[in-house]
């Protein structure tokens, strides 16, 4: 398992990207974003975890795309 994949935010993210129900997808995106913000607070004073930070950045871009798609 790669760095970050064991974190709760990643588990929520993995569930969000495969969700087909639009209402549940919105809930999953919201939950994932909240978990990511919490994890970033945890990492705020930690200069390590570069791979996880990159995964978070990638996930945030995907979540933003999903959110934009839901507004259509």
Give residue-wise pLDDT tens across range 55-65. Answer: 999 999 999 99
d(CA 25, CA 67): 9
pLDDT value at position 5? 87
Give residue-wise pLDDT tens across range 14-66. Answer: 999 999 999 999 999 999 999 999 999 999 988 888 999 999 999 999 999 99
For residue 46, tell me if it sits in a domain.
yes
Q: Is 54 left (phi over 0), alpha (psi -120 to 50) or beta?
A: alpha
Decide: helix, strand or coil at residue 31: helix
Number of domains composing the chain: 1
For residue 60, tell me if it sits in a domain.
yes
Residue ranges making up the domain that contains 40: 8-70
The pTM assigned to this predicted structure is 0.91
For residue 65, tell me if it sits in a domain.
yes
């Amino acid at each position: 398992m790669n760095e970050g994949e064991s974190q709760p935010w990643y588990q929520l993210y993995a569930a969000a990207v495969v969700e087909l129900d639009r209402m549940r997808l919105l809930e999953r995106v919201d939950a994932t974003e909240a978990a990511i913000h919490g994890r970033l607070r945890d990492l705020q004073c930690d200069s390590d975890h570069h791979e996880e930070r990159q995964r978070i950045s990638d996930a945030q871009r995907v979540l933003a795309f999903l959110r934009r798609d839901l507004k259509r």
